[in-house]
Structure 1
Amino acid sequence: MDQHIAEAIGRPDLIRLDDRLVCLRFETMKVVSALAAVRHLLDTGAVRRGDTLLDSSSGIYAYALALACHRHGMRCHIVGSTTVDRTLRTQLAVLGATLEQMEPCSDLKLDQKRRVERIHEILAEHPEYHWMRQYHDDIHYLGYRTVADRIRAATGADGLTLVGGVGSGASTGALARYLRAAPDGRSAEGPATEGRTAEGRSAEGRSAEGLGADGRAAADVELVGVQPYGSVTFGSEHVSDPEIIIAGIGSSIPFGNVRHELYDTLHWISFDAALAGSIDLLRRHAVFAGLSAGAAYLAARHERERTPGRTVLFIAADTGHRYVDTVHARHRQAARIADLAPHEVSDRSELALPWSRLRWQRAPAPAPAATTSP
């Protein structure tokens, strides 16, 4: 029996949509990483019950950290994006978390930059606060070990293609590393190495035992990342989407815990194409999920058709409730996914809307995405 609602919320469902397409469906995915990260910090003495945990969020992580703090008796302070809605503000308030929300801003890049600046101001005023650094610390990989174990038990993990939004790298990156590793945490190339943070190795980073240096191991697991246009993470900042940057799967600033060398293929998917994917996912399979899930579903269907014999699993990071007005209410406008196909490119300079695909081949980070500090 679960001891707290966060444990139930963080446990995903595995849903077979057809013989080779599987959906890993979360109610709120980042609860997995937040719970494990806070538990580890307590276990190692980095924080104590009653301390204040601090981070920036556009929405989902704020809720996840608030739940983890509620579970473990911590205080929670969030610097929130302009996109944090009334429902989430109310939940955070009742859970006891404090929220500083940025003033309305039409430029999401500026919004993200202002939030990071505010974090540093708060730390200067309150050095006793612990910054969770969800975008920079490998500690957020830890919670996905049990999820990977469950996937391995259900699919065998050999001949598996994993598809999902890149985001901070903690979900897709961690799952790929754990799935590629042997069950004892050792890679085919020898003992697993320590995790890293953007600032080098740390106590938190060293906790990510079982993660190989480059993720290579005996298990045949392909990793396909999904990005929005305009994201610096894999170098698409020169292409803008006339709608929006899909929150949660891309970034306008470098993220320190994305391991680019883990990814085999990248799909860049526009808002309109992701909307079509979300609508088809609900209409065809009755899975009510968010916009990033629609993008991952679209990419997963394409990868399934390209690779007969492989099982393709995609991540649905959250439910569709936040997207009712912006996505699902527009179902009559959605394109048929049968009419959509990616533009195959060999270089990032060739990226074009609404959908592009590139064989990344575990290459290192492009220059704009390289970072050495949060």
Structure 2
Amino acid sequence: MPGTTFTFQEITEAQMLPRLIRLGPNLFGAVFMLMKLLPARYILRRASERGELGPDTTIVETTSGTFGLALAMQAALMQHELTLVSDPAIDANLYRRLTDLGARVEICPEPDPIGGYQAVRLRRLAEIRAERLDSFCPEQYSNPDNPASYGVVAEQLATALGQIDCVIGPVGSGGSMCGTVRGLREHTPQTRAVGVDTHRSVLFGQPDGHRLLRGLGNSLWPANLDHAVFDEVHWCTAAEAYSATRRLHARHALFQGPTSGAAYLAAEWYARSHPDQLCVVMLPDEGYRYQATVYDDAWLADNDYVLAERPKEPVETDRADRPAAHWSRLAWGRRRYEEVPGAVPRTTGLPSAATPSPKAER
């Protein structure tokens, strides 16, 4: 129309912030198309501003999930080469999309006895960086720009909803929950944080082991995970997360992935149990990668993921290393990791995320 001014954005900028959707009387969803676009774009742009990412610098990172996709999208727009170190858990559709975007994907076939695939991938990442004189690693697990990028989400939530009493969300690198909650607590220190993890993830004190639910949890302790941010922690199984994912779709028409389902499982219960609190649940990415799995009834049945009965509340536990075999909850109380009963001792001597190149040292 004459006189109308349009603002055009890159696709990563246009899609990085969530839509705010009402899910209940006191529960809102921060619904992302691809949450990792936010830290990927922020980290790369900040690195470019600091001179760490020159015109010929190769970007290298370890990932088996959506952070890799977000990096591939932003790297393609910025016309940078990208090498991703991953493992067999990466699905074929994601692999194809990454390579279509021009990324080189290297698969580490076997896990490490201590630290699993994460440790192996980090070692290979360090080797690649040592071979390349001009490289930059976003280091999503330790780069403070990861949680810092979520300051804009905290501002969005506060502006739209006012005082937020509780934020519930899945935890992997620690960036989204720690960054968002810290931003909110600058104005409302009482804002509570509920982290959602899965069994056999070390993040909140369980012994490391094989995890069926991907996209949250970890075999290593990310530096960006500030345990003192969290008021409580929930652990859930893959079957419980998948069931909640399908319920989120059937009830609210939100087609999200299983990490969103895990967060919704905890958030629906928390909001119902605290009707006087205004709650927000972080729903990280859409469900298109899971059409042949989580959204396929036959696949769920064949893999024994169909629940006989939907759990209505978590089992309470007072030790990090003794959660129930299904959905469970621990009052974390904003304590440091070492202060929580039963938290397994942290393993030392694990590889660093990356060896800095000469350019990165400047």
TM-score, normalised relative to structure 2: 0.86
CA deviation digits over 1:208-240, x for unaligned, max 9? xxxxxxxxxx443100000011111111126x6
**Judging changes above 3 Å, is the alpha-carbon distance between structure 1 residues 252 and 82 closer, same or farther for their aligned structure 2 residues?**
same
Measure the CA separation in 2 of the matches of 1:7 and 1:237. 38
From 2, 11, 31, give the equivalent of 1:5: 11
1:142 deviates by 2.6
Are the counterparts in 1 of residues 197 and 217 from structure 2 also a CA contact under 8 Å?
yes
- 1:88 equivalent in alignment to 2:94: yes
Match of 1:365 in 2: 337
Measure the CA separation in 2 of the matches of 1:289 and 1:353. 25
Are the counterparts in 2 of residues 280 and 337 from structure 1 also a CA contact under 8 Å?
no
Map 1:174-189; keep pairs closer than 5 Å.
174-182=179-187
Amino acid across the alignment from 1:231: S
Gap runs ≥5 in structure 1: 183-217
1:7 deviates by 1.4
Map 1:302-341; keep pairs closer than 5 Å.
302-330=269-297, 334-335=306-307, 339-341=311-313
**Judging changes above 3 Å, is the alpha-carbon distance between structure 1 residues 99 and 232 closer, same or farther for their aligned structure 2 residues?**
same
Are the counterparts in 1 of residues 207 and 321 from structure 2 also a CA contact under 8 Å?
no
Measure the CA separation in 1 of the matches of 2:121 and 2:220. 12
> Equivalent residue of 2:54, what SS?
coil
CA deviation digits over 1:70-126, x for unaligned, max 9? 232322111122122222222222222211122377999532222111111111211
> Equivalent residue of 2:159, what SS?
helix
> Equivalent residue of 2:56, what SS?
coil
1:171 deviates by 0.4
- 1:26 equivalent in alignment to 2:32: yes
CA deviation digits over 1:5-46, x for unaligned, max 9? 111221211101122111111111101000011111111222
Amino acid across the alignment from 2:192: E
- 1:60 equivalent in alignment to 2:58: no
Identity across aligned pairs (percent)? 30
Gap runs ≥5 in structure 2: 1-6, 339-343, 354-362
1:68 deviates by 1.7
Match of 2:191 in 1: 221
Measure the CA separation in 2 of the matches of 1:98 and 1:152. 39
Map 1:100-115; keep pairs closer than 5 Å.
100-103=106-109, 110-115=116-121
Amino acid across the alignment from 1:24: A
Measure the CA separation in 2 of the matches of 1:60 and 1:139. 17
Map 1:199-278; keep pairs closer than 5 Å.
218-237=188-207, 244-278=211-245
1:280 deviates by 0.9
> Equivalent residue of 1:348, what SS?
coil
Measure the CA separation in 2 of the matches of 1:69 and 1:19. 41
Measure the CA separation in 1 of the matches of 2:254 and 2:112. 31
> Equivalent residue of 1:279, what SS?
helix
Match of 1:196 in 2: none
Measure the CA separation in 2 of the matches of 1:50 and 1:16. 45
Amino acid across the alignment from 1:354: H
Measure the CA separation in 1 of the matches of 2:316 and 2:44. 41
Which stretch shifts more, 15-24 or 260-269? 15-24
**Judging changes above 3 Å, is the alpha-carbon distance between structure 1 residues 349 and 88 closer, same or farther for their aligned structure 2 residues?**
closer
Match of 2:136 in 1: 130
Match of 2:253 in 1: 286
1:175 deviates by 0.2
Are the counterparts in 1 of residues 93 and 289 from structure 2 also a CA contact under 8 Å?
no
Measure the CA separation in 2 of the matches of 1:106 and 1:45. 35
From 139, 146, 155, give the equivalent of 1:149: 155
CA deviation digits over 1:106-157, x for unaligned, max 9? 9995322221111111112114211211111111123212111111111113
> Equivalent residue of 1:58, what SS?
coil
**Judging changes above 3 Å, is the alpha-carbon distance between structure 1 residues 3 and 164 closer, same or farther for their aligned structure 2 residues?**
same
Please tell me the root mean square deviation across aligned C-alpha atoms, in Å: 2.3
> Equivalent residue of 1:266, what SS?
strand
Are the counterparts in 2 of residues 232 and 251 from structure 1 also a CA contact under 8 Å?
yes
**Judging changes above 3 Å, is the alpha-carbon distance between structure 1 residues 20 and 338 closer, same or farther for their aligned structure 2 residues?**
farther
Measure the CA separation in 2 of the matches of 1:337 and 1:74. 49
Measure the CA separation in 2 of the matches of 1:146 and 1:136. 19
Amino acid across the alignment from 1:129: S
**Judging changes above 3 Å, is the alpha-carbon distance between structure 1 residues 161 and 336 closer, same or farther for their aligned structure 2 residues?**
farther
> Equivalent residue of 1:54, what SS?
strand
1:368 deviates by 3.6
1:347 deviates by 1.4
